[in-house]
Structure 1
Amino acid sequence: MPVVDHGPRGKARVALTFDADLTALMRRRLVNGKVHSYYNKTLIDELRTMHVPATMFLTGMWMEQYPDVTRQLAADPLFELGTHTYDHRGFTKHCYTLGTVPRADMLTDVRRAVVQLDQLDSHATRWFRFPGGCYDGTALHELAPAGVTAVGLDVPGADGFAKSPAPIIKQVLSNARDGSIVVLHMHGGDNAPYTDEAIGPIVKGLRTRGYQLVTVTQLMKG
């Protein structure tokens, strides 16, 4: 299974990527009303207003919850969509608190998300992101038949469970370099409550520094 990591690519470019996580626990919080939504529409509206290309990695469970939104994102020429497993479990042991996908289920899990995305996006990419960035040789071997390419990152945006926008902005602007892949989250809710407030200053700051914002595909093309 091929793996793409960051690296300088000619012009000064940075790829902003956004994960849309949804787990069984998060879905229960939706059902019981503890969380109104795990789709941060304000964030997406900001990206559109600022004309920011971006790559979104969607879990299968998130696509099940928001099929119409997935179609809308797929139809927007600014964005490209990839997959992020079915329910955001880890592909190694001890991957934060995500739980673990059994080895025998790894391929089925990823293929399930790929099939879902293909049903909603006629030009879906085969970009894929491991939950938590956790993978090893076993995971790569098991997923090889899925035909996906794992996309790494070098700038975690620190927006998960953030208490304010400020540390998110500082984290990205302090660490982004030519060829960087930044990961933030588009599900909002109680898991990433300040990403929409941070994105404007992040985009402005990166552009002021001379970076062109691109999708993962554009970054890889150089």
Structure 2
Amino acid sequence: MVDHGPRTGNKVALTFDADMTDAMRYQLRSGAVRSYANLRIVDLLERENVPATFFLTGKWVEQYPQVTRRLAANPRFELANHTYAHLAFTADCYGLPRLPQRQMTADVARTFDIVAPYGGRQTRYFRFPGLCHDRAALDALAPLGVTVVDGDVVSGDPFATSWRPIVRAVLDGVRPGSVVVLHVTEANAPMTDEALPHILAGLAERGLEPAPLSEVLGHP
């Protein structure tokens, strides 16, 4: 389990979680929300040639196959695992419904299987929903050979009503080797695309450079 990479050099990892729950899918189907795929983030990263790592839920990939294809096609993007349906792996995890322990291994394995056909730079990195985990959850995933990645800079972008606190949270906490947790789920993280240019500018001012997660963690 890792929170960050070595504190040497000037590289940091921008990671974007792509959540998708049954409740979110219902919101889409009912027309209550327009999108949980913030393409303005992807546009900016592509335009500026910024490396990033996307933690995908299986349900998000099923909902957005075209976007997943686009992410996989970019050699600067890495793909990682964020469970199938963004269920909690512990009790009391931000109100998320809990996944029974006996289903945990299969849930994560299923997501790897869903992402696999898209190709691109796939990894064995995994992030728990809400960063909630305990020894039982970690034990359940041991057979899959994943590297659990939390993050040492949590942006707080879900449900933020302004971009400024997101930028402040990132730039106040970021250091060489940092893993920054952001979201690409437009409707429940609506300010992330507005915050991102300011984050990139602030990183540059500090002499920090975004890099793929594998590079920041020092994995070949």
Normalising by structure 2, report the TM-score: 0.96
Asked if 2 retains the 8 angstrom alpha-carbon contact of 1:158 and 1:184, the reply is yes
Aligned partner of 1:4 in structure 2 is 2
Q: Is 1:200 aligned to residue 177 of structure 2?
A: no
**Within 5 Å, which residues of 2 pair with 1:203-214?**
203-214=200-211
Task: Provide the secondary structure at the position in 2 that maps to 1:125.
Answer: strand
Q: CA deviation at 1:130?
A: 0.5
Q: Is 1:48 aligned to residue 46 of structure 2?
A: yes
Aligned partner of 1:143 in structure 2 is 141
Unpaired stretches in structure 1, ≥5 consecutive residues? none
Aligned partner of 1:113 in structure 2 is 111
Structure 1's 155 and 122: CA in aligned 2 closer, same or farther, altered over 3 A? closer
Determine the C-alpha separation between the residues in 2 that align with 1:122 and 1:167.
Answer: 33
Matched length: 219
Determine the C-alpha separation between the residues in 2 that align with 1:121 and 1:186.
Answer: 20
**Within 5 Å, which residues of 2 pair with 1:1-222?**
3-189=1-187, 191-221=188-218
- Counterpart AA for 1:193: P
Cα RMSD of the aligned pairs, angstroms, is: 1.2
Q: CA deviation at 1:54?
A: 0.5
1:99-121 per-residue CA deviation (whole Å, 9 max, x = no partner) reads 21100110111111110011222
Determine the C-alpha separation between the residues in 2 that align with 1:221 and 1:30.
Answer: 38
Q: CA deviation at 1:161?
A: 0.1
Q: CA deviation at 1:9?
A: 4.2
- Counterpart AA for 1:61: K
Q: CA deviation at 1:148?
A: 1.6
Task: Provide the secondary structure at the position in 1 that maps to 2:122.
Answer: coil
Structure 1's 52 and 107: CA in aligned 2 closer, same or farther, altered over 3 A? same
Determine the C-alpha separation between the residues in 2 that align with 1:34 and 1:132.
Answer: 23
1:68-102 per-residue CA deviation (whole Å, 9 max, x = no partner) reads 21111001011000010001011111111112110
Asked if 2 retains the 8 angstrom alpha-carbon contact of 1:162 and 1:193, the reply is yes
Determine the C-alpha separation between the residues in 2 that align with 1:42 and 1:163.
Answer: 17
1:112-144 per-residue CA deviation (whole Å, 9 max, x = no partner) reads 111001122254111111100011110111111
Determine the C-alpha separation between the residues in 1 that align with 2:60 and 2:192.
Answer: 18
Task: Provide the secondary structure at the position in 2 that maps to 1:4.
Answer: coil
Q: CA deviation at 1:210?
A: 0.2
Determine the C-alpha separation between the residues in 2 that align with 1:97 and 1:85.
Answer: 16
Normalising by structure 1, report the TM-score: 0.95
Task: Provide the secondary structure at the position in 2 that maps to 1:126.
Answer: strand
Asked if 1 retains the 8 angstrom alpha-carbon contact of 2:75 and 2:120, the reply is no
